[in-house]
Amino acid sequence: MKFKRLAIILFALLVSALVVNKVYYTYYPNQLSIKPEMLSIVNTETHRLKFMRKESEHGKIILDRMYGRYDSIILANNYLLSTPASAEFTLPQFRYKCRPHILREHPGLRYNLWKHQSPDVILLGSSIFFCDFSRQEFYKRYPGKYLLDFTTGNNTPYIASWFIHYADSLGLQFKPGSIVLYGMNRVEMLKDYKSISSHNHVKDAITKPQAKKTADQIIEEYLCLPQLRYDITGGLKNKYDELFRGGNMYRKAIDKKYLGSDEDFMKYIQSAAVKTEKTNKFDPERIAEIKSLAFFLQQKGCKLVILKLPQSQYNDIILNTAGHSWFDEEATQFNQDNITYIDVSDMNRFGITQLDYIWPGNIFDPEHLNIEGSEKFTNALMKQVLDTRLIKQTTIH
């Protein structure tokens, strides 16, 4: 009798725990909460994840800011919108209710939009570009233009080239005169940075249909058990990082005493950055991949424009050899008629400061501009580069 009572109590506790878990993750979803048919946004100040129906009032506002004239196509079709996995794909910044957010975007959406309308501008590159480029500012300046963002986290020339060739394999039409901006991160040209197969998970998310879920998976997802496991393992990983990676400056909180001015912060990062004597040469195979991509685009009537993007002084120190910019020397290998190389890294000219690398919560991110920095950079980039090129594009048509 006692055993039966104990079993009932334990069962009741289990059910209660499952109910509490279900309710909690309904109101506080985490990165593993996946609803691909809805818009998925993250508040970069609170790190809260929010799902939103595209047809809602605020959903339409976000579609307009992030997709411009493509928004009507999204509203009229049942395309997958949100990332199908917890992996980083494309996470552009934007303002929603005046606060900084990022959009978790399904990598296959861009191809579905292209089927309806060829883009005027194509973005290629890694997270340094999707954080530094403000699509919201782009559409403010060019409301009649179409832009498709093919950036992805930890990009390499291999995946950038694959993105474009996959569009061609689908029979998608390239608009002659289209501008292909490749916002380059220096490290992605190094041989030891990511292999040729490192982005197979991105390709799978684009090319493979969604697998049919088993009954066990449906039950697990309904009870939000994957989210629970993700938070537990994520918490353990964070503890590991605190113990063993404390010296890493990337995405670390900075004492406010160093953030009084740009000069104060520069002095701090100059003292904190470790100088290196390592020589960093571009991988010949990656150079060849870029040149092959440029030739392919030339055959389609498009031009590849490689941008050297701004990076924090911290990155300038640790990624250069004793203060010498090897990137500029290596970039001379891009010199050919079908590639335009433009240095847009002059932070002073664009009004960007080192403090534009401070994210909410005093977090220093040496690679990624915060939302204020991205708005400054994008407006400067449009005036310096895109205004003239889009006029030429209009002339072609």
Q: Give percent of the chain with pLDDT exceeding 90.
A: 72
pLDDT band at 93 (very low <50, low <70, confident <90, very high): very high
Taking only the tens place, the pLDDT of each residue in 121-171 is 999 999 999 999 999 999 999 999 999 999 999 999 999 999 999 999 999
Taking only the tens place, the pLDDT of each residue in 327-368 is 888 999 999 999 999 999 988 888 999 999 999 989 999 999
Q: Residue range 301-329: average pLDDT?
A: 85
Taking only the tens place, the pLDDT of each residue in 182-204 is 999 888 999 999 999 999 999 99
Domain extents in the chain:
2-207+215-396
Homologous superfamily of the 2-207+215-396 domain (CATH): SGNH hydrolase (3.40.50.1110)
Which stretch of 17-31, 33-47, 180-194, 238-252 has the lowest confidence by average pLDDT?
238-252
Q: What is the pLDDT of residue 303?
A: 92
Q: What is the pLDDT of residue 225?
A: 92
Calculate the average pLDDT of the chain: 91
55 pLDDT more than 90: yes
Q: Give percent of the chain with pLDDT exceeding 70.
A: 94
pLDDT band at 240 (very low <50, low <70, confident <90, very high): low
Q: What is the pLDDT of residue 257?
A: 94
pLDDT band at 396 (very low <50, low <70, confident <90, very high): low
Assess contact for 79 and 85: CB atoms under 8 A.
Answer: no
Q: What is the pLDDT of residue 243?
A: 59
What is the pTM (predicted TM-score) of this model? 0.92
> CB pairs under 8 A, 24+ apart, for 204-207?
205/83, 205/84, 205/85, 205/87, 205/89, 205/106, 205/107, 205/108, 206/107, 206/108, 206/111, 206/166, 207/166
Residue (of 328, 286, 281, 290) closest to 308 by Cα position: 328
Q: What is the pLDDT of residue 276?
A: 73
Q: What is the pLDDT of residue 252?
A: 84
Q: What is the pLDDT of residue 247?
A: 55
